[in-house]
Amino acid sequence: MDLIERYLGAIARQLPDAQKADVCAELRDVLLSQVEDEEGRLGRPQTQEELEAMLIRFGHPLTVAGRYRKTQHLIGPEVFPFWWAALKMSLAVVLGIYVVLAVLTAVGGEDTELIGDRTTPALTATLLLTLGAVTLVFALMERFGKTTILNRWKPGQLPPASGRSVSPFEAGLEIGVGVVFILWWIGFIQFRNLLPDHALRLDMAQVWTHWFWPILIFSAYELAANLLALLRPGQARLVESLLAIRSLVAAAMLCGIYQAGHWVVVSSLTLPAAELAKTQANFDRGMAIGIAGAVLVYVTLAGVSLWRLRQADRAFASPAARRA
């Protein structure tokens, strides 16, 4: 009954730790009893399609989990679990972006700025705006009777019951990194390129201009893959396939960038020419080691994604397929 276990696992992820075991045990008994009754009526074991139909009738995992929560007051109880899940994901993305910006601002100091002297909106205001926007969307859906779209789901798309799932904040942080990188890459965000302690100025070499569009397209692809992983955690095979492609493409691009042999232009108004040349060589050597290390990391990540993809195929395989 792998499908039932995945269904119960999806419900358990929405419940407090203190409730998970008892609620899942109760629901498992109910579901197995329904399966037994249905198979007795049919005089044969249920097919995968019949089991999926039964679980759909039983209810979406978010809706079922919501029945066990004590507080459901902002909006209707049937919509509340979906609102809460969407709110957590939205706030996770916002917090992820702000965490990345905060770290980079700390590194960049006063010279970190947005183009045109635009300032980053206050975190509190952004969080409140996100809360209001998400709440408004779900309130309008409930008001105009468009909530049926929330229950369009398939049990077969639920993630495996076992294994560690990525938290919304972790996924939001990855998305935040992607958003900030794209904003920096297209020039919307700037960071200082001066090392004050050594009076060195660092600028990107010409190689990055040649790779501007491939890197931008790759970053958008990676951001889309991370968004899919956040919004559709049950699409394990698709997500891992996209991540495997991401890692292999990144490794290939880095190999091409590595061929340039020069990635950062070091300049200074105070250092002698000989010392500046030595400093430039040290930066190039460090970049070469870093790029080579990144290639190895991405190749390893591709291997991990392919291994997880194989595990997901086994987990999602039907009992008949496993026996074959």
Average pLDDT along the chain: 79
Residue 235 has phi, psi (to 5 degrees) of -85, 60
Q: Who's near 247: CB < 8 A, 6+ residues apart?
A: 298, 299, 301, 302, 305
pLDDT at 41 over 80: yes
CA–CA distance, 38 with 46 (Å, rounded to integer) = 8
CA–CA distance, 148 with 135 (Å, rounded to integer) = 17
Greater model confidence, 45 or 69: 45
pLDDT band for position 153 (cuts 50, 70, 90): low
- Residues 192-218, mean pLDDT to the nearest whole number: 80
- Residues 201-206, mean pLDDT to the nearest whole number: 86
The H or E element containing residue 227 is: helix 212-231
pLDDT at 142 over 60: yes
Domain boundaries defined on the chain: 1-70, 76-155+164-192, 195-324
Polymer length of the chain: 324
* Span 64-115, pLDDT tens digits: 887 776 654 556 667 777 777 788 888 888 887 777 777 666 655 544 444 4
pLDDT at 255 over 70: yes
Among the ranges given (97-106, 208-217, 265-274, 293-302), the one the predictor scored with the smallest mean pLDDT: 97-106
CA dihedral over 39, 43, 44, 50, signed as positive or negative = negative
* Span 15-34, pLDDT tens digits: 888 888 899 999 999 999 99
The pLDDT assigned to 314 comes to 65
Please tell me the pTM assigned to this model: 0.61
What are the structure tokens assigned to 174, written together?
A: 């990855």
pLDDT band for position 117 (cuts 50, 70, 90): very low
pLDDT at 146 over 50: yes
Greater model confidence, 217 or 124: 217
